[in-house]
């Protein structure tokens, strides 16, 4: 059974990080031998004063291919959320089986709308009921269900957000090739304008890179290397500066 699992609002001003908690849940599922979890993506939601987020209003989602009853998985994730969420947080959990969804676009549309306007818990619960998804709150005011539901929709879209964590690529003085980048598990290397690099092209990647989710792939964004980081880094391309991720 292939699922998407998303959580949101598990941190507080002083403690916690939703990405780390998502990582923890994924790791525990793997450790139990229940199946395999994929990479976590972070999805930016609406930034507006009237939305009660802590500091960045982002949701975390990951795919899981599991062979345990869904009720058992839900109970397990709920326990972890209850035990590990920060005091004062408003955690939400959403679990979706995309194969069972008759219309992906409704959930994707909800995710996109959550980036544009203020949503209510009532809307989220109604949609979850209409689509037959699992959506639950685990403390506080439960506002996290909105981001959790949106996270599954945005991940399902295949074109939103960035992957959590760093990806290290074997290189010589920070320079490698697209072939090596592929070997490190990154599906594609392209410019912001959408130009795909050829497999032999050299790219300055430094010590590590981060990737974004485009067309359901992990994509490394690059730009022309106009100012080499050092004399030896004369690759024609370099990984985009990290601040570019504010747009993903």
Q: Where does this chain touch another protein (CB under 8 A) — which range of 16-24, 80-88, 103-111, 178-186? A: 16-24
Q: How many Cβ atoms from other residues are within 10 Å of residue 5's Cβ?
A: 29
- Least Å distance, CB 40 to another protein, is 9
Site string for another protein, 22-51 (x = CB under 8 A): --------------------x----xxx--
- Residue 183 sits in the site that holds another protein (CB under 8 A): no
Selected binder of another protein within 13, 75, 87, 183 (CB under 8 A) = 13
CB within 8 A of 200, min separation 6: which ones?
177, 178, 179
- Give the total of residues touching another protein (CB under 8 A): 21
Q: Which range of residues in 11-19, 26-34, 77-85, 191-199 is near another protein by CB under 8 A? A: 11-19
**CB crowding 90-121: b at 16 or more within 10 Å, else e:** bbbbbbbeeeebeeeeebbebbbebeeeebeb
Site for another protein in 49-68 (CB under 8 A): 49, 53-58
Restricting to residues 141-180, name those near another protein by CB under 8 A. Answer: 164-166
Q: How many C-beta atoms surround the C-beta of residue 227 within 10 A?
A: 7
Helix axes 70-84 and 18-31, enclosed angle (nearest 10): 140
Instruction: Give the position of tokens 């106009």.
Output: 226
The C-alpha atoms of residue 248 and residue 245 are separated, in whole angstroms, by 5
Token pair 């304008």 is found at 193
x/- binding map, residues 223-242, to another protein, per CB under 8 A?
Answer: -------------------x
Give contact residues for another protein (rule: CB under 8 A): 13, 17, 19-20, 42, 47-49, 53-58, 164-166, 242-243, 245-246
């Amino acid at each position: 059974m292939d699922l998407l699992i998303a959580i949101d609002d598990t941190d507080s001003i002083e403690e916690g990080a939703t990405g780390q908690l998502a990582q923890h849940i994924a790791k525990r599922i793997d450790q139990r031998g229940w199946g395999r979890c994929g990479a976590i993506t972070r999805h930016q939601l609406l930034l507006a004063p009237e939305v009660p987020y802590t500091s960045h209003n982002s949701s975390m989602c990951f795919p899981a291919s599991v062979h345990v009853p869904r009720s058992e998985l839900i109970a397990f994730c709920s326990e972890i959320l209850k035990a590990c969420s920060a005091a004062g947080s408003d955690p939400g959990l959403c679990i979706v089986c995309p194969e069972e969804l008759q219309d992906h676009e409704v959930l994707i549309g909800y995710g996109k709308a959550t980036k544009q306007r203020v949503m209510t818990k009532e809307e989220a619960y109604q949609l979850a009921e209409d689509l037959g998804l699992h959506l639950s709150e685990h403390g506080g005011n439960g506002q996290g269900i909105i981001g959790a539901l949106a996270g599954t929709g945005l991940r399902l879209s295949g074109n939103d957000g960035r992957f959590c964590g760093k990806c290290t690529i074997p290189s010589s003085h920070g320079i490698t090739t697209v072939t090596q980048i592929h070997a490190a598990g990154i599906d594609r290397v392209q410019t912001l304008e959408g130009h795909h690099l050829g497999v032999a092209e050299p790219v300055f990647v430094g010590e590590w890179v981060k990737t974004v989710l485009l067309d359901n792939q992990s994509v490394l964004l690059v730009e022309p290397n106009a100012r080499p980081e050092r004399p030896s880094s004369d690759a024609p391309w370099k990984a985009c500066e990290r601040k570019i991720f504010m747009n993903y």
